[in-house]
Structure 1
Amino acid sequence: MSLDTPLPVTRTERLSAHEALQRLEHERNSRLTQLLALDEAGTDAESEVEEHLMSAQKGTIRRVLAEVEDAFTRVRDGSYGDCLDCAKPIPVERLEILPYTRFCVPCRRDTV
């Protein structure tokens, strides 16, 4: 490894409540936009298979929206960012990617 190569930086701090709320709001808005687009496309479905696929996609989006709403609750009660299984802080990098996640990676792996 070259001396010029920077070492990876791991953020150990937590997201602030403001940052978490911003990320969750963005996630909510993105999912609502997807849902609206699927609703509009649903009128153009040409087959039963297309209708079934859109219905499955809508179900997935609604489940994610429910997880986002649960994350808003965790921000309000102060438990946001803590793994619901091991109670350790979830790494900021994971929360930046999945702001509504409830588990750290090792615990998530164990639940699947």
Structure 2
Amino acid sequence: MGQALAKELQNDVHVVRRQIRELKKMKKNRDACKTSTHKAQTLAASILNISRSDLEEILDTEDEVEIEKTKIDAENDKEWMLYIQKLLEGQLPFASYLLEAVLEKINEKKKLVEGYFTIMKDIR
């Protein structure tokens, strides 16, 4: 089992979280992409003398809630890895705790994947 598997699992969860953020951003952009917005952005880009993609980058600040959630997730991930490390180093009673911790992360991934597909259905 070891740390390699724990890291792999952690990475999987991280990837799915990132995909969900991208998907939400895509949906938000699609919803906002009305012609008036497009015209306004084109005008703003020409006034500022920058390309539309540069302007989109400036405007594309992830909302505060999403940023805060990302920080909290990263913090929880760090704590989880430390916990796994302590279990593997034998500082805590081993087998059942290790299994419990790994199952917890697998369930988190399962929920994230379900959430991902829910958003996907919503977009189509």
Superposition TM-score, scaled by structure 2 size: 0.34
Higher Cα radius of gyration = 2
What is the TM-score normalised by the length of structure 1?
Answer: 0.36
Indicate the structure with greater helix content: 2
